[in-house]
Amino acid sequence: MIRYGYVIALCWLLLPALAGCGRKTLPIPPQAAIPVAITDLSRQLDEKGATLRWTYPTLAESGEKIDNIRTFQLHKSEMAADGFCADCPVTYGETITLSAAGAAPGDEITYADTALQEHYRYTYKVVANSGWNIASSDSNRVSFRWEKPLPPPTGLRLQAADGQLTLSWQPLTVLPDGAAVDSPVRYQVYRSSKGKNFAPIGAPVDGLSYVDQGLTNRRTYYYQVRAVRQADETELAGEASAAVAGEARSQVPPEPPQKFTMVPTGDGVKILWENVAQPGVAGFRIYRRPAGEQEYALVGETDRASFSFTDSDLPAGEEVLYYAVTAIDDAEPPNESAFSQDVEYRR
Protein backbone atom coordinates (compact mmCIF):
# COMPACT_ATOMS: atom_id res chain seq x y z
CA MET A 1 0.00 0.00 0.00
CA ILE A 2 1.46 3.30 -1.20
CA ARG A 3 1.05 6.15 1.16
CA TYR A 4 -0.56 9.36 -0.03
CA GLY A 5 2.35 11.56 1.11
CA TYR A 6 4.85 9.41 -0.82
CA VAL A 7 2.84 9.85 -4.02
CA ILE A 8 2.84 13.59 -3.59
CA ALA A 9 6.62 13.65 -3.08
CA LEU A 10 7.20 11.46 -6.14
CA CYS A 11 5.14 13.80 -8.30
CA TRP A 12 7.22 16.74 -7.21
CA LEU A 13 10.41 14.86 -8.12
CA LEU A 14 9.13 13.91 -11.59
CA LEU A 15 7.68 17.35 -12.45
CA PRO A 16 10.89 18.81 -13.99
CA ALA A 17 11.32 15.77 -16.19
CA LEU A 18 7.72 15.89 -17.33
CA ALA A 19 8.01 19.59 -18.09
CA GLY A 20 10.96 18.84 -20.36
CA CYS A 21 8.73 16.72 -22.56
CA GLY A 22 6.05 19.40 -22.96
CA ARG A 23 5.69 22.32 -25.45
CA LYS A 24 8.99 24.09 -26.29
CA THR A 25 9.65 27.76 -27.03
CA LEU A 26 10.28 29.00 -30.65
CA PRO A 27 13.58 27.69 -32.03
CA ILE A 28 16.38 30.17 -32.59
CA PRO A 29 17.47 30.04 -36.25
CA PRO A 30 21.15 29.37 -36.95
CA GLN A 31 23.28 32.27 -38.11
CA ALA A 32 23.79 30.49 -41.43
CA ALA A 33 20.15 31.23 -42.28
CA ILE A 34 19.94 34.86 -41.14
CA PRO A 35 20.72 37.39 -43.93
CA VAL A 36 23.12 40.18 -43.10
CA ALA A 37 21.48 43.56 -42.63
CA ILE A 38 20.96 45.69 -45.75
CA THR A 39 23.20 48.76 -45.64
CA ASP A 40 22.60 50.51 -48.96
CA LEU A 41 18.93 51.50 -48.76
CA SER A 42 18.56 54.74 -50.76
CA ARG A 43 15.82 56.87 -52.24
CA GLN A 44 15.34 58.96 -55.37
CA LEU A 45 12.62 61.60 -55.54
CA ASP A 46 10.74 62.83 -58.59
CA GLU A 47 7.39 64.43 -59.32
CA LYS A 48 5.55 61.13 -58.72
CA GLY A 49 7.03 60.21 -55.34
CA ALA A 50 9.98 58.24 -53.96
CA THR A 51 11.76 55.23 -55.44
CA LEU A 52 13.45 53.09 -52.77
CA ARG A 53 16.46 50.98 -53.79
CA TRP A 54 18.59 48.36 -52.05
CA THR A 55 20.68 45.28 -52.86
CA TYR A 56 19.68 41.65 -52.30
CA PRO A 57 22.17 40.41 -49.63
CA THR A 58 24.77 37.86 -50.71
CA LEU A 59 25.83 36.58 -47.26
CA ALA A 60 24.36 35.24 -44.05
CA GLU A 61 25.48 36.47 -40.65
CA SER A 62 27.78 33.43 -40.47
CA GLY A 63 29.66 34.64 -43.55
CA GLU A 64 28.27 31.90 -45.78
CA LYS A 65 26.60 32.65 -49.12
CA ILE A 66 22.82 32.93 -49.05
CA ASP A 67 20.23 32.88 -51.84
CA ASN A 68 16.99 31.84 -50.13
CA ILE A 69 15.47 35.21 -49.22
CA ARG A 70 11.71 34.96 -49.60
CA THR A 71 10.46 38.46 -48.91
CA PHE A 72 11.57 41.99 -48.12
CA GLN A 73 9.59 44.03 -45.63
CA LEU A 74 9.74 47.78 -46.21
CA HIS A 75 8.68 49.68 -43.08
CA LYS A 76 7.29 53.19 -43.62
CA SER A 77 6.85 56.03 -41.14
CA GLU A 78 4.67 59.06 -41.95
CA MET A 79 4.29 62.15 -39.79
CA ALA A 80 3.52 65.84 -40.24
CA ALA A 81 6.70 67.73 -40.99
CA ASP A 82 5.89 70.40 -38.40
CA GLY A 83 5.87 67.78 -35.66
CA PHE A 84 9.09 66.05 -36.67
CA CYS A 85 11.64 65.41 -33.93
CA ALA A 86 15.08 64.36 -35.10
CA ASP A 87 16.01 62.76 -31.76
CA CYS A 88 12.71 60.98 -31.11
CA PRO A 89 12.14 57.25 -31.80
CA VAL A 90 10.61 56.52 -35.20
CA THR A 91 7.22 54.80 -35.25
CA TYR A 92 6.59 52.76 -38.39
CA GLY A 93 2.89 52.61 -39.12
CA GLU A 94 2.93 50.66 -42.39
CA THR A 95 4.74 47.53 -43.55
CA ILE A 96 4.97 46.75 -47.27
CA THR A 97 5.85 43.12 -48.04
CA LEU A 98 7.63 42.47 -51.36
CA SER A 99 8.24 39.03 -52.81
CA ALA A 100 11.85 38.17 -53.62
CA ALA A 101 10.80 35.58 -56.23
CA GLY A 102 12.92 35.87 -59.36
CA ALA A 103 15.60 37.98 -57.67
CA ALA A 104 19.13 36.77 -56.95
CA PRO A 105 21.94 37.83 -54.61
CA GLY A 106 23.44 41.13 -55.74
CA ASP A 107 20.33 42.24 -57.66
CA GLU A 108 18.95 45.73 -57.14
CA ILE A 109 15.48 45.73 -55.57
CA THR A 110 13.25 48.76 -56.13
CA TYR A 111 9.90 49.96 -54.85
CA ALA A 112 8.10 53.13 -56.00
CA ASP A 113 6.02 54.81 -53.32
CA THR A 114 3.60 57.35 -54.79
CA ALA A 115 1.29 57.54 -51.75
CA LEU A 116 2.91 60.65 -50.28
CA GLN A 117 1.33 63.76 -48.75
CA GLU A 118 2.55 67.34 -48.99
CA HIS A 119 4.14 68.78 -45.82
CA TYR A 120 4.84 65.28 -44.42
CA ARG A 121 8.12 63.59 -43.49
CA TYR A 122 8.74 59.97 -44.44
CA THR A 123 11.24 57.49 -43.04
CA TYR A 124 11.92 53.96 -44.32
CA LYS A 125 13.87 50.86 -43.31
CA VAL A 126 13.93 47.39 -44.88
CA VAL A 127 14.32 43.84 -43.51
CA ALA A 128 15.14 40.64 -45.45
CA ASN A 129 13.27 37.44 -44.53
CA SER A 130 14.59 33.98 -45.44
CA GLY A 131 11.96 31.93 -43.61
CA TRP A 132 9.42 31.87 -40.79
CA ASN A 133 10.85 33.93 -37.95
CA ILE A 134 14.20 34.22 -39.77
CA ALA A 135 14.82 37.90 -40.51
CA SER A 136 17.80 40.18 -40.86
CA SER A 137 18.45 43.12 -38.60
CA ASP A 138 17.08 46.51 -39.67
CA SER A 139 18.71 48.24 -42.62
CA ASN A 140 20.00 51.78 -42.59
CA ARG A 141 17.23 54.39 -42.62
CA VAL A 142 16.36 56.99 -45.25
CA SER A 143 14.23 60.03 -44.50
CA PHE A 144 12.90 63.04 -46.43
CA ARG A 145 10.26 65.73 -46.41
CA TRP A 146 7.73 65.65 -49.26
CA GLU A 147 6.43 68.80 -50.91
CA LYS A 148 4.40 69.49 -54.02
CA PRO A 149 6.72 69.17 -57.06
CA LEU A 150 7.65 72.32 -58.95
CA PRO A 151 6.40 72.66 -62.54
CA PRO A 152 8.77 71.93 -65.43
CA PRO A 153 11.16 74.61 -66.76
CA THR A 154 10.35 75.97 -70.21
CA GLY A 155 12.16 77.53 -73.15
CA LEU A 156 14.96 74.97 -73.43
CA ARG A 157 17.59 75.72 -76.09
CA LEU A 158 20.77 74.04 -77.26
CA GLN A 159 23.84 75.71 -78.72
CA ALA A 160 26.35 73.40 -80.41
CA ALA A 161 30.12 73.65 -80.37
CA ASP A 162 33.06 71.34 -80.89
CA GLY A 163 32.65 68.48 -78.39
CA GLN A 164 30.05 70.26 -76.30
CA LEU A 165 26.45 71.45 -76.08
CA THR A 166 25.24 74.43 -74.05
CA LEU A 167 21.73 74.01 -72.64
CA SER A 168 19.75 77.05 -71.47
CA TRP A 169 16.21 77.58 -70.13
CA GLN A 170 13.83 80.18 -68.72
CA PRO A 171 13.66 80.89 -64.95
CA LEU A 172 10.84 79.35 -62.94
CA THR A 173 8.97 82.17 -61.19
CA VAL A 174 5.30 81.13 -60.98
CA LEU A 175 3.59 77.99 -59.68
CA PRO A 176 0.68 76.33 -61.54
CA ASP A 177 -1.83 77.96 -59.17
CA GLY A 178 -0.47 81.42 -60.03
CA ALA A 179 1.44 81.90 -56.79
CA ALA A 180 4.99 83.22 -57.00
CA VAL A 181 7.88 80.91 -56.24
CA ASP A 182 8.99 82.16 -52.83
CA SER A 183 12.01 79.92 -52.18
CA PRO A 184 15.39 79.54 -53.93
CA VAL A 185 15.28 77.30 -57.00
CA ARG A 186 18.14 75.36 -58.55
CA TYR A 187 18.08 73.27 -61.72
CA GLN A 188 19.13 69.67 -62.35
CA VAL A 189 20.07 68.66 -65.90
CA TYR A 190 19.35 65.13 -67.16
CA ARG A 191 20.79 63.47 -70.27
CA SER A 192 19.95 60.46 -72.42
CA SER A 193 21.54 58.95 -75.50
CA LYS A 194 18.28 57.48 -76.84
CA GLY A 195 15.56 59.84 -75.64
CA LYS A 196 14.50 57.74 -72.63
CA ASN A 197 15.88 56.69 -69.23
CA PHE A 198 17.25 60.17 -68.49
CA ALA A 199 19.98 60.28 -65.82
CA PRO A 200 21.19 63.35 -63.89
CA ILE A 201 24.53 64.85 -64.92
CA GLY A 202 26.52 66.97 -62.51
CA ALA A 203 25.04 68.71 -59.50
CA PRO A 204 22.07 71.13 -59.54
CA VAL A 205 23.07 74.59 -60.80
CA ASP A 206 21.97 78.02 -59.63
CA GLY A 207 22.01 79.62 -63.08
CA LEU A 208 19.97 79.16 -66.23
CA SER A 209 22.46 77.26 -68.38
CA TYR A 210 24.66 74.18 -68.34
CA VAL A 211 27.64 73.28 -70.56
CA ASP A 212 27.91 69.55 -71.28
CA GLN A 213 31.49 68.90 -72.38
CA GLY A 214 33.46 65.92 -73.68
CA LEU A 215 30.77 64.89 -76.17
CA THR A 216 31.21 63.00 -79.44
CA ASN A 217 30.60 65.20 -82.47
CA ARG A 218 27.65 64.30 -84.71
CA ARG A 219 26.12 62.06 -82.04
CA THR A 220 22.62 62.98 -80.82
CA TYR A 221 22.11 63.76 -77.13
CA TYR A 222 18.76 64.35 -75.39
CA TYR A 223 18.22 66.64 -72.40
CA GLN A 224 15.61 67.46 -69.76
CA VAL A 225 15.72 69.90 -66.85
CA ARG A 226 13.96 69.77 -63.47
CA ALA A 227 13.61 72.62 -60.99
CA VAL A 228 14.94 71.71 -57.54
CA ARG A 229 14.05 73.29 -54.22
CA GLN A 230 15.16 72.64 -50.66
CA ALA A 231 12.81 71.12 -48.06
CA ASP A 232 14.69 70.86 -44.75
CA GLU A 233 17.83 68.89 -45.67
CA THR A 234 16.17 67.30 -48.74
CA GLU A 235 16.40 68.56 -52.33
CA LEU A 236 13.12 67.91 -54.15
CA ALA A 237 13.22 67.68 -57.96
CA GLY A 238 10.12 68.91 -59.79
CA GLU A 239 8.51 67.80 -63.02
CA ALA A 240 10.71 67.15 -66.04
CA SER A 241 10.74 69.64 -68.90
CA ALA A 242 10.06 68.69 -72.49
CA ALA A 243 13.10 66.98 -74.01
CA VAL A 244 15.39 68.73 -76.49
CA ALA A 245 17.98 67.05 -78.70
CA GLY A 246 21.16 68.23 -80.35
CA GLU A 247 24.55 67.24 -81.72
CA ALA A 248 27.95 68.63 -80.85
CA ARG A 249 29.80 69.73 -83.97
CA SER A 250 33.19 70.85 -85.02
CA GLN A 251 33.78 74.58 -85.44
CA VAL A 252 36.77 74.04 -87.72
CA PRO A 253 35.82 74.50 -91.40
CA PRO A 254 37.32 72.25 -94.08
CA GLU A 255 40.03 73.35 -96.48
CA PRO A 256 38.91 74.88 -99.83
CA PRO A 257 39.36 72.98 -103.13
CA GLN A 258 42.46 73.49 -105.28
CA LYS A 259 43.81 73.17 -108.85
CA PHE A 260 41.03 74.46 -111.10
CA THR A 261 40.36 73.89 -114.78
CA MET A 262 37.91 75.90 -116.93
CA VAL A 263 36.31 74.19 -119.94
CA PRO A 264 33.90 76.10 -122.27
CA THR A 265 30.74 74.17 -123.17
CA GLY A 266 27.96 74.74 -125.68
CA ASP A 267 25.75 76.33 -123.05
CA GLY A 268 28.22 77.86 -120.62
CA VAL A 269 31.39 76.93 -118.78
CA LYS A 270 32.40 73.87 -116.77
CA ILE A 271 34.53 74.38 -113.63
CA LEU A 272 36.58 71.40 -112.41
CA TRP A 273 38.67 71.20 -109.23
CA GLU A 274 40.78 68.82 -107.25
CA ASN A 275 39.61 68.24 -103.70
CA VAL A 276 41.89 68.21 -100.67
CA ALA A 277 41.47 64.79 -99.01
CA GLN A 278 39.82 65.42 -95.62
CA PRO A 279 37.10 63.72 -93.56
CA GLY A 280 33.66 65.18 -92.95
CA VAL A 281 33.28 67.06 -96.27
CA ALA A 282 29.65 66.99 -97.37
CA GLY A 283 29.80 69.01 -100.58
CA PHE A 284 30.92 72.15 -102.43
CA ARG A 285 29.48 75.57 -103.18
CA ILE A 286 30.27 77.48 -106.40
CA TYR A 287 30.36 81.28 -106.46
CA ARG A 288 30.67 83.79 -109.34
CA ARG A 289 31.31 87.53 -109.75
CA PRO A 290 31.70 89.81 -112.76
CA ALA A 291 35.08 91.49 -113.25
CA GLY A 292 33.85 94.86 -112.01
CA GLU A 293 32.35 93.60 -108.73
CA GLN A 294 33.85 92.52 -105.39
CA GLU A 295 31.06 90.35 -103.94
CA TYR A 296 30.53 86.75 -105.00
CA ALA A 297 27.05 85.31 -105.61
CA LEU A 298 26.23 81.65 -105.05
CA VAL A 299 25.40 79.95 -108.35
CA GLY A 300 25.38 76.26 -107.42
CA GLU A 301 26.12 73.47 -104.96
CA THR A 302 27.29 69.86 -105.40
CA ASP A 303 27.60 66.84 -103.14
CA ARG A 304 30.87 65.37 -101.87
CA ALA A 305 31.19 62.98 -104.84
CA SER A 306 31.20 65.78 -107.45
CA PHE A 307 34.30 67.73 -108.44
CA SER A 308 32.83 69.80 -111.24
CA PHE A 309 29.99 72.20 -111.93
CA THR A 310 28.56 73.58 -115.19
CA ASP A 311 27.40 77.19 -115.12
CA SER A 312 24.88 77.42 -117.96
CA ASP A 313 23.25 80.70 -116.92
CA LEU A 314 25.98 83.19 -117.71
CA PRO A 315 25.07 86.89 -117.31
CA ALA A 316 24.65 88.75 -120.59
CA GLY A 317 27.19 91.40 -121.51
CA GLU A 318 29.91 90.19 -119.13
CA GLU A 319 33.09 89.24 -120.95
CA VAL A 320 35.17 88.36 -117.86
CA LEU A 321 33.90 86.29 -114.94
CA TYR A 322 35.61 85.02 -111.80
CA TYR A 323 34.73 81.80 -109.99
CA ALA A 324 35.55 80.50 -106.52
CA VAL A 325 34.58 77.28 -104.75
CA THR A 326 34.16 76.46 -101.04
CA ALA A 327 33.91 73.14 -99.20
CA ILE A 328 31.21 72.49 -96.56
CA ASP A 329 31.21 69.81 -93.87
CA ASP A 330 28.39 67.63 -92.50
CA ALA A 331 27.72 69.71 -89.37
CA GLU A 332 24.27 71.25 -88.87
CA PRO A 333 24.42 74.03 -89.91
CA PRO A 334 27.53 73.25 -91.96
CA ASN A 335 30.91 74.89 -91.51
CA GLU A 336 32.08 76.45 -94.76
CA SER A 337 35.67 76.87 -95.86
CA ALA A 338 37.23 80.08 -97.10
CA PHE A 339 36.96 80.88 -100.81
CA SER A 340 39.34 79.08 -103.08
CA GLN A 341 41.72 81.03 -105.29
CA ASP A 342 39.97 83.07 -108.01
CA VAL A 343 39.67 81.36 -111.39
CA GLU A 344 39.19 83.67 -114.36
CA TYR A 345 36.95 82.87 -117.32
CA ARG A 346 36.96 84.97 -120.55
CA ARG A 347 34.43 84.49 -123.27
Mean pLDDT of 5-32: 49
Q: What was the pLDDT predicted at 252?
A: 85
Kindly indicate the confidence band of residue 26, based on its pLDDT and cuts at 50, 70 and 90.
Answer: low
What's the whole-number average pLDDT of the chain? 88
Mean pLDDT of 147-176: 91
Rounded to two decimals, what is the model's pTM? 0.53
Mean pLDDT of 65-75: 96
Kindly indicate the confidence band of residue 27, based on its pLDDT and cuts at 50, 70 and 90.
Answer: low
Q: What was the pLDDT predicted at 12?
A: 40
The structural domains of the chain, with segments of one domain joined by +, span 31-146, 157-247, 258-346
Q: What was the pLDDT predicted at 196?
A: 92
Mean pLDDT of 67-73: 96
Q: What CATH code would you report for 31-146?
A: 2.60.40.10
Q: Which residues contact 339 (CB under 8 A, 6 or more apart)?
A: 256, 287, 296, 324, 325, 326
pLDDT tens digits for range 243-281: 999 999 888 899 999 999 999 998 899 999 987 778 889
pLDDT over 70 for what percent of the chain?
90
DSSP one-letter string for 236-284: EEEEEPPPEEEE-----PPPPPEEEEEEEETTEEEEEEEPPP-TTEEEE
Mean pLDDT of 59-78: 95
Whole-number Å distance between alpha carbons of 60 and 37? 9
Q: Which residues contact 10 (CB under 8 A, 6 or more apart)?
A: none
Q: What CATH code would you report for 157-247?
A: 2.60.40.10
pLDDT tens digits for range 188-225: 999 999 999 999 999 999 999 999 999 998 899 999 99
Return the CATH number of 258-346, one of 2.30.29.30, 3.90.650.10, 2.60.40.10, 3.40.50.720. 2.60.40.10
Q: Do domains 31-146 and 258-346 have the same CATH topology?
A: yes
pLDDT over 90 for what percent of the chain?
65
